Structure formats: structure tokens, C-alpha cells
Amino acid sequence: MESRIGRSIEVDFFRGIVLIVIVLDHIPGSALSHLMLHAYAFCDSAEVFVFLGGYASAAAYTAVLTRRGANAAQMRFIKRCWEIYRAYLLTAVLTLVSGALLAFFHLNRPMVEMTGWPPFASQPLREALDILVLRRQPYLSSVLPMYVIFALCVPLAVPLARRSAIAAVLLSVAIWAAARSLAVFFSIDDVGDWAFNPFAWQLMFVLGIVSRVHPVSERFHMSRPARWLVHAGLVAVLAFAVVKLFVLTQPLPGTLKQNLSVDRVINFLAIAWLTTRLVRLGSIAWLAQRLPAVVRVGRTGLVCFVTGTLVSLIVDTATPRAFHGVAGVLVALSGDLVAITAMLVIARCWSDWRRDASRAAVSGAGCG
């Protein structure tokens, strides 16, 4: 379902959900995070976030290409690259300042370590340079450098996908297969420095692009192979859930997520196919229309991502840890509710400010 300006309400709804989930997942004491995707699947909100980023980028590139031509579409994503880089720097600064304040007031010591403040305090010039050149990304800012690279590649990836989906996917799979070697070559193979190997995660981004440029046809949706894929997807999702819940007893190595392991890709594709069927039935659009505040979060994605960093830090620090049992769960749920409310309010305030600024600009132009 597309809006009048060409935006998909389902995509904005999913992006809103994912942005809220990212905040909750980065609150160590969150109660709701135990119900999120990572609890019963080998993939998590990161795959959804990157896939939707590719989908939205393809939609934006195609829209500008249709209205204003190839040069304008290319310039749009060069500017977008700069916007994401600035957002990355702002997120890094906010993270480090938060860590400095927590250290100064002797609060939430584990979070101080996670923010990267201690090494920055000991070697500020070196750490600042590493952050500027994307060699090191403090805490939640780690996904944005990958997006800087992806934004630069959109003017190449989308035209390739438009010409041949098979060629785009095969090239992406080849890069993904060589991702670890490429990461070593470019010295970004340390999880502490690059939490996401961009050579691996580009696969999710390209799959999002291809899904937008070449959507599954209604004819295929009605076919017998599509119905068999639904059954296979259900079996795969249940199998991964059983393994995650009842077989694995230890956390998986961080390198599996960093390099987008094959089991994460398969699990995500199974979930994505089942979700596509729900979108086709109109279930997601129906839900999105009844939760416009969540859709608004999805439409203010970069702002909500940056401010969500502070929300997670503040809520985690302010949530008492002295309670246990039922009381502890209720306290954790209260913190989750505060975080969700904060994200909805931030999206609303930003949207209102943008609308008022736009009206003022139009009014000023009219007066001139």
C-alpha cells in the first residue's frame, strides 16, 4: 500500500517498530527485550533495519530518478551520505558525553564501559581521529558507518538491480562470501572496532533493494510454489526457534553477527517471506493505520535513531536494580514504557517542527 507521496505505510510501520526495538534491546534491564526477535531467532532487528534501509533507498532513488533524472538521484544520495555521516558523529558525541557524565557521577559503570568513554578519556586525540575516519564507532553509532558506505553505493546498486535482479544478487552473494577476507584486508575484522562488517551486511541491503525494484508478482503469490514456500518458511522459523530456545545454552560468538552468518540469512529470509504474505493480505496496513504514532517514528528514522541512543542510556541508568521477582519485572516494564513513550514523543515533536518550519518557509516565500 502506497501513500500519495509514494511511501509505503507498511515499510514505515516496520521501521518504526524496529527503531523502538533497537532502543529496548540496548537497555540491559529491559523486560520486553526478552520477547523480541533475537530471543527466538538467529537474526534480530539489525537484519530488518538494514533490509528496510535498502528497500527505502531503492524507493527514494527511483522516485527522484523518475521526476528529475539520474544526476539528481545520484546527488541525492551523495547528500544522504553526508547526512548519515553527520548523524554518526552526533551519535558518537552524545554517546561519549553520556559516558563522561556517568563516569563523573559514578553511575552505571557497565554502561560507561560500553560507551567507549574510558579509552577516549585516556587518548582523546587518537580516539577522536579513529572516530572521524570510521576506524572506531562508540556503542550505538556502530551501524551508521555501514550506512555511509551503502548510501554511496545506491547509485550503482539500484541501476544494476533494475537491469538484472539476478546479477545484483549474485554479485552481492559473492561479496558476502568473501566478506571476512575483505574485512581483514581493510583492517575492520575486529568486532570491537566494526560491529558490522559492511561487506557482509550489504547482502541484506541489496536484498531490500531488489525487493523494491522487483516485487513478487501477484501471479507467483497465487501459485503452488508460493504456498509450498509458506510451509517451508513456517517449518524453518519453528526449527530455528526450537534450537534457539531449547538447544543453545551459551550466547553465540559476536563474529557470527558481525559477518552475517548463513544461518542468520536463512532465518531472516524465512521470516521475511511469511511477513510478505501478511503484507499481501493487508494485515500490516490495517495495523499500521491504527498505530500512526509508530508509523511516524519510522518516517523520522535518522532522528529517532540518534535520539534513541540517549533514551536507552537514560532509561537504563534511571531504572532501579534493587528489585527482584515480580517487583523487578514491573520496574523493568515501567522503564520500557518510558522508553517507548519517549520515542513516540520525539517523533511527534520532530514531525510537528518540520511541518511548522515548512509552513513558515512557504509563508515567507509568499510574502517575498
d(CA 122, CA 110): 18
- Point out which residues pair with 2 in neighbouring strands: 8
Least confident range of 219-233, 234-248, 281-295, 349-363? 349-363
How crowded is residue 236: how many other Cβ atoms within 10 Å of its Cβ?
Answer: 17
Crossing angle of helices 283-290 and 9-25, in 10° steps, is 70
**Identity (one letter) of the amino acid at 92?**
A
Proportion of the chain above pLDDT 90, given as a percent = 78
Residue 358 has what pLDDT?
Answer: 78
d(CA 37, CA 257): 14
d(CA 94, CA 131): 13
pLDDT band at residue 6, thresholds of 50, 70 and 90?
low
Q: What phi and psi, each to the nearest 5 degrees, are found at residue 209?
A: -60, -50
Give the pTM: 0.92
pLDDT band at residue 4, thresholds of 50, 70 and 90?
very low
Q: Is 69 left (phi over 0), alpha (psi -120 to 50) or beta?
A: left
Residue 117 has what pLDDT?
Answer: 94
Question: Is pLDDT above 50 for 3?
Answer: no
Provide the mean pLDDT of the chain: 91
DSSP 227-270: HHHHHHHHHHHHHHHHIIIII--SPPPHHHHHTT-HHHHHHHHH
Question: Is pLDDT above 80 for 361?
Answer: no
Length of the chain, in residues: 368
Question: Is pLDDT above 90 for 226?
Answer: yes
Residue range 304-315, pLDDT digits in tens: 999 999 999 999
227 or 136: which carries more pLDDT confidence? 227
Proportion of the chain above pLDDT 70, given as a percent = 95
* Average pLDDT of the segment spanning 18-22: 95
Q: What phi and psi, each to the nearest 5 degrees, are found at residue 4?
A: -65, -25
d(CA 342, CA 356): 21
3-state SS, one letter per residue, for 179-226: HHHHHHHCCCCCCCCCCCCHHHHHHHHHHHHHHHHCCCCHHHHCCHHH
pLDDT band at residue 365, thresholds of 50, 70 and 90?
low
Residue 367 has what pLDDT?
Answer: 59
The Cα-based distances of 109 to 117, 315, 317 in angstroms read 11, 14, 9
